[in-house]
Amino acid sequence: MRLLLLILLLSVLCDAEVPHAMQVNSDEDLKYALFLKNPILYKEQIHQEGKALFLKRCSYCHGKDGSGQGGFAADLRRRISKESAYYTIKNGGNNFRGSFAGGMPPMIKDNSKAQSVAQYISLGMPKSHPGALVYQQTNCARCHGESGHGRKYLAPNIHNFDLKTITMILKNGKNGYIGLMQSFNYLSDEEIQIIAIYTLSLSHSHLVGE
Ligand code: HEC
Ligand code: HEC
């Protein structure tokens, strides 16, 4: 009788630890990721939240499905009115043929900073203009180049990395062969974790049912 109880207790405990819906033995990492939360919670909350964060913060470089993409950023040295530059900086843009799906994301919330850098561009990017500092701080150069000439930019496929690596890269950024990815350490640990789990799930969509 005692033995039976023990077995019962054990099976309840085991069940609690690894619910049936989560037995995704084919991938240790995903199991670990889902193990942090219950799988239903994952699907309904983490997944939705992760998706929203990923679309906002990652997809314009890495693509909606994380498979990576590249494109050309506009040459800012041609004549652009301040109003038009301001509009694009505030709202982003995805009009030109040749720039990839995703185009330019909205870059600057702060109106006066956006005004300043828009004026800097409309004036032909004079070095002494205060907007030069905004251009530098916001790292517009990673797509448009230091001198605004517009360059080809790429972000790699981010499938098949493990959770620890993704988390580390999100915290520290990465400056590698392809280019610079800035750190996302201004996000909360929880947001980083959610994005990392969602990123991981993009390589295993068959396991999380999307
Ligand atoms: C992720 C790459 C990326 C970043 C970062 C980026 N841009 Fe862009 N930018 C683009 C692309 C792509 C376009 C073309 C958009 C389109 O197709 O409409 C563009 C267009 C523009 C335009 C409109 C050009 C025109 O001919 O009308 C301006 C102005 C501009 N960017 C300024 C900036 C500034 C200032 C920053 C930094 C605050 C910045 N961009 C950051 C990719 C980027
Ligand atoms: C402005 C463009 C940009 C954004 C936004 C961005 N990345 Fe990156 N990411 C890059 C580039 C460029 C690299 C390649 C760095 C290198 O190795 O040269 C990279 C590398 C990575 C890598 C490592 C891939 C490898 O080949 O080593 C991961 C994982 C990653 N990014 C995840 C993310 C996630 C998740 C987000 C959203 C929170 C994100 N990135 C946002 C540009 C970006």
Residue extents of the structural domains in the chain: 22-68+156-208, 70-154
What whole-number percentage of the chain has pLDDT above 70? 68
Residue identifier of the C-alpha nearest atom 33 of ligand 2: 58
176 lines ligand 2 (CB under 6 A): yes
22-68+156-208 homologous superfamily? Cytochrome c-like domain (1.10.760.10)
pLDDT digit string, tens, across residues 2-44: 544 444 444 444 443 333 333 333 455 565 555 555 556 666 6
pLDDT surpassing 60 at residue 49:
yes
What pLDDT does residue 3 have?
47
Pick from 192, 193, 171: nearest CA to 181: 171
Pick from 42, 75, 90: nearest CA to 149: 75
33 lines ligand 2 (CB under 6 A): no
Q: For residue 90, report the distance from its CA to the centre of ligand 1, in Å.
A: 10
Most ligand 1 atoms within 8 A of CB, residue of 77, 104, 178 to mutate: 104
Sequence-distant contacts of 25-32: CB under 8 A, at least 24 apart: 26/207, 27/204, 27/207, 29/162, 29/163, 29/200, 30/200, 30/201, 30/204, 30/207, 30/208, 32/163
